[in-house]
């Protein structure tokens, strides 16, 4: 595993604005991160629990 691979991670973006969520998701994915999105805190908490 390279040093760059060690710094890539899985990120959960939580924002109530869909356009913001999708823009942030695309940017992070271009940088090599695995990204999940949620529109509110309840959805985010459910995603984290699973």
Strand partners, 37: 13
Q: What is the pLDDT of residue 38?
A: 98
The pLDDT > 70 percentage for the chain reads 86
Give the pLDDT band of residue 41 (cuts 50, 70, 90).
very high
- Report the predicted TM-score, pTM, of the whole model to 2 decimal places: 0.78
Give the pLDDT band of residue 9 (cuts 50, 70, 90).
confident
User: Which of 17, 19, 22 has the alpha carbon at shortest distance from 36?
Assistant: 22
pLDDT of 16 > 90? The answer is yes
Mean pLDDT to the nearest integer, 31-37:
96
- Residue boundaries of the structural domains of the chain: 3-49
Cα–Cα distance measured from residue 43 to residue 12, given in angstroms and rounded to the nearest whole number: 11
User: Which of 49, 30, 43, 4 has the alpha carbon at shortest distance from 13?
Assistant: 43
Token couple for 27: 């940017």
Q: Are 36 and 11 in contact (CB under 8 A)?
A: yes
């Amino acid at each position: 595993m390279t040093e760059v691979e060690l710094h890539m991670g899985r990120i959960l973006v939580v924002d109530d604005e869909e356009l913001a969520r999708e823009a942030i998701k695309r940017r992070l994915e271009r940088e090599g991160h695995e990204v999940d999105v949620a529109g509110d805190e309840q959805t985010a908490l459910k995603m984290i629990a699973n």
